[in-house]
Structure 1
Amino acid sequence: MNLKQYVKQHREDWKELEQLVSLLHKNKRNFAAKDIQQFHRLYQKSAQHLSYCQTYFPKEDVTFYLNGLVSKAHNLLYKDQVSSFKQIRYFFTTKFIGLLAEQWKFVFIAMILFTLGAVGSFFSVLQDPLHLYSILPAEIAYAVDPEQLGVGHDSIDSSLMSASIMTNNIQVAFLAFAGGITFGLLTAYVLVYNGIIVGALAALFWHYDMTYEFWAYIVPHGMIELVAIFIAGGAGLLMGYKLFVPGPYSRIYQLKEQAKRSVQLLLGTIPLFVIAGVIEGFITPAAISLEAKYFVAILTVVGLLLYMVIGTILFQKEARVTRDS
């Protein structure tokens, strides 16, 4: 049986289970016994369907859809209602990492687009420093002065700067995410454009023989910041791809389903932007050695790797529990 036939044969059961899940969430006490029985029957059938799809259609949207539906039904059947704190902890320790594991290819593509912009502008300005004024916005091109790097940081209001940076970065991430509705074209533009800015500035400091100093002021916050932007960009590219290639589903359905997943990816980046903003506001301008700034960058990378590893272990553990139940 092909995918289209399988979905057509069972989608009414899935739709009914989804409605029962929604009703049970809203009003548990007034749920009739016959509804509970029907809920349990549909849950068991959908769990079997999920197992079948994981075997024969492992990378199709229907498998991800069923995994989410069965997980929701399982939680209602076998778990007590958890507190908001536990839900938040579950999202950031397990759910978010699971979404990343499923959509890592789009995050990787986002990184490639950013890198292409950065490499292109770097070699352009390296060839002729005057290209800087045609590549960068005027307010950046005329304001940057490598010889003034680190000067005047003592007078900076770190709290205000940190809040401003966080707001700006989240806006960039949201724009990259929302660009998915343009079939990913705006998302690609945002990623390439931000890469161009970084690449052009890196080339300018190269001309002044200040590459070491430049990256010391970029990498402490930049490692986390770029990862967050790549994730947000990947969320936008995912939505754009599903709109461009909807498969057996309508584009409206894909927009609805992929928007949910993409929004979750975007929400998962907010703590990363908060951490990056705090580092950029308080540590980057601090009167500490360049080596100390690089050490902070190393700590952020180690922290990110540990977060990903631990989250992956928790996600795989939950997947096994769901599959065996």
Structure 2
Amino acid sequence: MREAAFVKQNKDKWLKFESLLKNNSNISPDQLSATYVEITDHLSYANTFYRGSNTARYLNDLASQAHQKVYRNKKESKNKFILFYTKEFPLFFYQYQKQLLFSFLVFTIFAIVGAYSAANEDSFVRAVLGDAYVNATLNNIENDDPMAVYKQASETDMFLGITINNVRVGLMAFSFGVLAGLGTLIVLMQNAIMLGSFQYFFYDKGLLWESARTIWIHGTIEISVIIIAACAGLVVGRSILFPKTYSRLHSFVTGVKDGLKIVISTVPFFVIAGFLEGFVTRHTEMPDILAILIISLSLILILWYYVILPHRLYKKFIDGK
């Protein structure tokens, strides 16, 4: 939507709200809160699509005026946290759907490369996964418990260790974007090749389904948010390579801020993935239908939050609802 059309569509509502605030008119707390939420939605939209414009500055001032009234007796941090995850971030992320798609395609291509390489070079799996892991897994297969690796540590220790490691990988994928996006692509490539060779290893042993139903219980969210964190790195890389009408420094700073928002959004999902791997994946005896249900719900959650919801919120603004 053009900025002029956006202003024309909402101008009367903004002026009315501004008048109520300036005249200290009587307005119910519920009405004030509801209108304030709508104004912050508009502000988020303006910051996303008309960054630095007079419209964005005006809405920021208007939201600031209403802030003290709305949050006089509320805990600001809690409400800002909820608003960020439920409305501000999904709407903001709409503009980076292409980078998300590119990150996904790169990961998929290199996962296929990893599987193909493992199929054509016997030593490739050991080179990627390490002799210790391969030997331990072969021993587990001989003992009729191929997924025993997920049962070795205690639930809490595995949960904490995996979550910290996943967040570390996500931060690497994001921060390496400062290398014009090349570092991010390398991190993405490494993880994709590892996954592809890992899955082929079990396929070669006749255990593809056994491995897939187990690792994708946590891997659906884990791999997805690594791809999303890589999207954040690509945002940074693009800001360096393609500053558009901005100075390269201004574009870079904006790219880092935007990428950081994307990374922050992934933290709860990394925690969920760590919880699943630490407390759920180890139960390899669970029925297939339950494993499929967990995997399906995880995939729906990711697609809803990072793809469907951003498009719905954007369409809502376009339609003026």
TM-score by length of 1: 0.73
RMSD across aligned positions (CA): 3.0
Aligned residues of 1:121 and 1:135 also touching (Cα < 8 A): no
State yes or no: 1:262 paired with 2:259. Answer: yes
In structure 1, how many angstroms separate the alpha carbons of the residues matched to 2:62 and 2:226? 33
In structure 1, how many angstroms separate the alpha carbons of the residues matched to 2:92 and 2:258? 8
Q: How far apart are 1:159 and its partner, in Å?
A: 0.9
State yes or no: 1:84 paired with 2:80. Answer: no
Q: How far apart are 1:62 and its partner, in Å?
A: 7.4
Aligned residues of 1:93 and 1:311 also touching (Cα < 8 A): no
Q: Once the two structures are superposed, what CA deviation does each residue of 1:119-170 show, in whole Å capped at 9, x if it has no partner?
A: 0010111223332123444454444336142337555311110111100000
- 1:32-181 equivalences in 2 (<5 Å): 63-66=50-53, 69-79=57-67, 80=69, 82=71, 83-145=76-138, 147=141, 148-151=145-148, 156-181=153-178
CA, structure 1 residues 70+166, in 2 after alignment: closer, same or farther (shift >3 Å)?
Answer: farther
In structure 1, how many angstroms separate the alpha carbons of the residues matched to 2:59 and 2:224? 28
The answer for unaligned runs of 5 or more in structure 1 is 1-49
Aligned residues of 2:173 and 2:183 also touching (Cα < 8 A): yes
Q: Quick one: which amino acid aligns to residue 80 of structure 2?
A: Q
TM-score by length of 2: 0.74
Q: How far apart are 1:70 and its partner, in Å?
A: 4.6
In structure 1, how many angstroms separate the alpha carbons of the residues matched to 2:105 and 2:111? 10
- 1:281-300 equivalences in 2 (<5 Å): 281-286=278-283, 287-300=285-298
State yes or no: 1:204 paired with 2:201. Answer: yes
Q: How far apart are 1:115 and its partner, in Å?
A: 1.3
Identity of aligned residues (%): 23
Q: Quick one: which amino acid aligns to residue 290 of structure 2?
A: A
The answer for unaligned runs of 5 or more in structure 2 is 1-41
Q: How far apart are 1:314 and its partner, in Å?
A: 4.7
Q: Once the two structures are superposed, what CA deviation does each residue of 1:52-99 show, in whole Å capped at 9, x if it has no partner?
A: xx9xxx9x9873443754542331144545421110001000111122
Q: Quick one: which amino acid aligns to residue 133 of structure 1?
A: R
Q: How far apart are 1:315 and its partner, in Å?
A: 5.6
Q: Once the two structures are superposed, what CA deviation does each residue of 1:193-223 show, in whole Å capped at 9, x if it has no partner?
A: 0000000011111111111011111211111
In structure 2, how many angstroms separate the alpha carbons of the residues matched to 1:119 and 1:262? 27
CA, structure 1 residues 255+140, in 2 after alignment: closer, same or farther (shift >3 Å)?
Answer: farther
State yes or no: 1:184 paired with 2:181. Answer: yes
Map of 2:275 onto structure 1: 278
Name the count of aligned residue pairs: 267
In structure 2, how many angstroms separate the alpha carbons of the residues matched to 1:247 and 1:207? 49
CA, structure 1 residues 103+225, in 2 after alignment: closer, same or farther (shift >3 Å)?
Answer: same
CA, structure 1 residues 152+221, in 2 after alignment: closer, same or farther (shift >3 Å)?
Answer: closer
Q: How far apart are 1:276 and its partner, in Å?
A: 0.7
In structure 2, how many angstroms separate the alpha carbons of the residues matched to 1:228 and 1:173? 8
Aligned residues of 1:99 and 1:265 also touching (Cα < 8 A): no
Query: Which has the larger displacement, 248-257 or 145-154?
Result: 145-154
In structure 2, how many angstroms separate the alpha carbons of the residues matched to 1:121 and 1:135? 9
In structure 2, how many angstroms separate the alpha carbons of the residues matched to 1:188 and 1:154? 32
Q: Quick one: which amino acid aligns to residue 78 of structure 2?
A: F
Map of 1:304 onto structure 2: 302
Aligned residues of 1:220 and 1:284 also touching (Cα < 8 A): yes
Map of 2:13 onto structure 1: none
